[in-house]
Structures are given as structure tokens and as C-alpha cells.
A and B are shown apart, each in its own frame.
Chain A
């Protein structure tokens, strides 16, 4: 089983390398992270946090948008593309389980994300430490951001595979992926914000909001990183909400979502008839 997954992963990694996905993802993360590192340098003196912690807080906000987008862009073609190329029927006559096929793709795509995230955050950290040696205090937060970003990516990779299986056509899958990204990453927060304003600190804000934040993998990721790091102080706004939710709950959401998404993807892929 391991051998079939690894062989699939190696093949998918090679394809992504040739399609320049590895280069695109890495370059995108590095450029954005460096821009944030440069822009986030200003308020250091006022807050009293080390520079890297501030950068980590900025990177968290970046990752919430960029990592799900990259993950969906890499995954929407995974099943629909095989259906369109006509490679799926032959693959499914091989003694390989559908779960193994998806697991292989997930390993490859997660490796690419980890590479991009590592390069991007690493570059931003180097820049921070270089200008402020005390920044090494922020390294644990950076490490936490790296692995939780990769897990956030895994969640959206799984969601992308599921959409790809449901759509069965790359164009349809791309549309669904964009819709999911807009919904979970952008509109979800806007809707919550509107409800908080309308509620005015009532039952919704204290009872429903924490659950709503934990139920969305992107929000849980943000909460987890902000409440875990000292950077909480540096991030105004969400900080208040983050304080009311225990760390273990957001950590659980960050860890559980990738598994749930993969399960969803496998269930959707099983329904595909080549």
C-alpha cells in the first residue's frame, strides 16, 4: 500500500514540477511573505513584541487567503483532469484502491505546499532576524505557522479533490473551487462580522460565534496561530474572539479538518464511474 501511494506521489510531484506548479507556488509565497516582512516592520517599537512575531501575525493573515487558494488550484484537476484525459479507466483497473490514489496525490501536493510555505516563511524570517537579532524568540511561532499552514492546505486539497470528483469536468471543478474559496475564506467572515454587528454583543457573539469560527478550517487556523503566539497582541480585531476560545479547541479543528476533507474526497471519488 505504502509503495503504491509513494509511487503515485512521486509521479504527481513530477507532473507538478513539469507544469511549473512547484515554481509558481514557491515564488508566490516568497514574494508575498517578503512584501509582508518589509511592510510589517514599522510598528515594532510600539507593541514591544519582537519583529518575527509581528511578521508571523501578518503571515497568518496572508496564509488564510493564499494557502487555500494554492491548494484548490492544485487539486481541482486531480480527478476531473483524469476523467477528461481518459486516463482514469485504465488506472482503476490496476490493483490500487481509490483511497490510495488520492492519498498519493495528497502527499505530493502537500509536499509542494510545504515547500512553498517553508520557502516563503523562511525568507520572511531570515529578513526579520537579520534586521532584529532578538527575533529568534518568534521562531516557535513561525514553526507552528508552517505546519498548521500545511495542514490548512491539506484541508483544501481534500476539498478540491471532492469537488473535482463531483464536477467530473475540469471547468466545472474550477468554478466550484473558486466558489468554495470565496465562500469559506471571504464571505464566511463577512457574514459573521455582519451578524456580530447586528447582534451587538448578545447571545450570538458569546454562544454561536466560537462554534462558527471553529467550524471553518480557515478561521480555526487563524485562531490557532493567533491565540498560540504572543502575536495575539499584535493582531487587533480577531484577538478578542481568539481569547474566548481555548487553544486546544482550535488545535483540534486544525488537526481534524484535513482528515475530514480527505474522507469526503474519498467518498466522492468512490462515486465516480469511469
Chain B
């Protein structure tokens, strides 16, 4: 099976600013990939190039085997813009009916789509009266039209409450299981962690890291944190036994060590027996890994 989206050495300049530099990416059917990066890292630019909305300067982009923005590519790609906007005078149902017609589908399916995103009750109200979260759902509903082979979602869950987010990712899982490739950007790292197969980190237009979360974690080699709670009256003895620990204001001891030293340190702490009341191991969070990679090239 050929890949759904192939990008090789993509470069895009805005006047003198290099928005994307030599970015390469390969996305196969059913893959869910998260694109992370700070504001201005080039996420939206990359998405717009994939959609064929803006031209690029160098490199190659193939979407479902066609040029980005070609009629053939557009038939198979669905897009959710960062702030989904629609004409305020139209109702949600009218807007979705129109989008269905544009994709050559029956407009009668509009209610069914709106039901899937939980908007059935508001379908006959004007979009001008919708909240941001509701507009976002109209945007989600239109990405479900047809059977897109590639979904490009720019911050799809912004404005959604936690329950809607869970529903949304359940929808995505279903689409991915049917073979759609999904490229999404997000600021909410914890949800990306659980719901994507691969993570890409963009910084200043460069792809600084790529892989599964476990791979990124290993490659970043960030220190593991340990918090030791001393038994009553054993604080000083414990501090003496663990000279590298830092004493926090609440009387707990904080340690940090490299991944491969973790087990040895744990054994030492366990060996201290009754002096230790409790022990927490804190692996580096996705936030830590993300800032590690996005800072490395940036500043």
C-alpha cells in the first residue's frame, strides 16, 4: 500500500523568513500523527501546503499520489481549520448540506453527520448564535463527509470540553481504523500522548524530532525525578544518606537521576528501610520532552 502523504525536503520561505526548512514526512493509511510546535513553528504553513492553499519553494509533496490542491487530491482530503468559521446567517444544517453537495454526496445526510458530533438539536439554528465549541463541531462534521483518505486537523479540539474531546478522539479512532491517515496539531499534549501513533516536533520550521512517545523519551534522555517522603523523625538521617537530594519546604526530598541510574537509586532508597515513608517516581512528562526538543534547535 502506498503512503497517503509523502513530503520530502519541503522548504517554504516568506520573503526572508524560512517558514519550513527541509521537512520530510511519510504518512501511511490508518496512521495518526500529531504535529507539535510553538506558535509560528510552521505547523499551519505545513498544513496549508499539504492542502494546496499556498505554494512552496522547494521539495516534493504528494497527497494520495497527486499534487497538493489538485482536484484528485482535494476529493480525498478533509480539512479542519484552526478557527472553523462559517457564514453566520446560515444554519448548521444548511452549511453541511452545501458541503455534502460540493463533495458529490446526498445533502440528506446532513442531519446524520450533525448527530454524530452532537449538534442535532442546534442544526436548525443560525451559526451566528453558536458558541465556539459548536462551530468547531460543525467543522468536525464537515471533515466526516465522504471517506477522506487524509484528514488535516489544525487544533481540532480547541474550544471543546473534555467530554466532547473524548468523543472526538473516538471518532478519529474509527476513521483511522477504516484506513484514513490523520495529521493533527494540538497544544494539549496529554491528549496527543494517548491518542496518536507518532509525534512530530517542529521548531523554527525544522523537524527536530519524530517518533513514538517512547522513542522520543529515550532519545531526550531527560532525568527521572524521585520524591522521597521521610518517616517521622528520620528526615535528617535520610538527608545524610542521600547527599544529592534537595530538601523541599514540605519536608520531602527531591532527587533526579538519568534513566539508567534509576533502578540502582531505587534499590538504595529501598535499602534505607524504615526511614522512608513513601516514594514517588516521576518520569519526564510530554511537556518536558517537547520543550527539550523544541528548545534544542531554537534558542
Contact = CB atoms under 8 A, between A and B. Distances in A.
A137 interface: no
A96 interface: yes
A93 B74 contact: yes
B87 interface: yes
Nearest to B51: A93
Nearest to A90: B81
A253 interface: no
- Of the four ranges (under 10, 10 to 19, 20 to 34, 35 or more), the interface on chain B belongs to 20 to 34
Interface string B85-124: 1110110001001110111100100000000000000000
Interface stretch (A8-16, A51-59, A212-220): A8-16
A90 B77 CA distance: 11
Contacts, number: 70
- Of the four ranges (under 10, 10 to 19, 20 to 34, 35 or more), the interface on chain A belongs to 20 to 34
Interface stretch (A39-47, A67-75, A81-89, A172-180): A81-89
Interface in A80-112: 85-87, 89-90, 92-97
Given A90-B79, A273-B53, A4 B101 contact: yes
B53 A274 contact: yes
Nearest to A86: B85
A87 B79 contact: no
Given A4-B102, A11-B94, A95-B102, A87 B86 contact: yes
A244 interface: no
B83 interface: yes
A86 B82 CA distance: 10
A85 B94 CA distance: 17
A18 interface: yes
B98 A8 contact: yes
Interface in A1-50: 3-4, 7-8, 10-11, 14-15, 18-19
Contacts of A11: 90, 94, 98
Contact of B104 (A3, A93, A273): A3
B270 to A, nearest CB: 57
Contacts of B89: 14-15, 18-19
B189 interface: no
Given A4-B102, A86-B81, A89-B81, A95 B71 contact: yes
B75 A95 contact: yes
A90 B87 CA distance: 12
B98 A7 contact: yes
A3 B104 CA distance: 8
Contacts of B139: 90
Interface in B134-174: 139, 142
12 contacts: A10-B98, A14-B89, A85-B86, A86-B83, A87-B87, A90-B81, A90-B139, A90-B142, A92-B53, A93-B52, A93-B74, A95-B74
CB-CB nearest 6 A-B residue pairs: A7-B101, A86-B85, A18-B89, A93-B79, A95-B74, A94-B102
Interface of A: 3-4, 7-8, 10-11, 14-15, 18-19, 85-87, 89-90, 92-97, 273-274
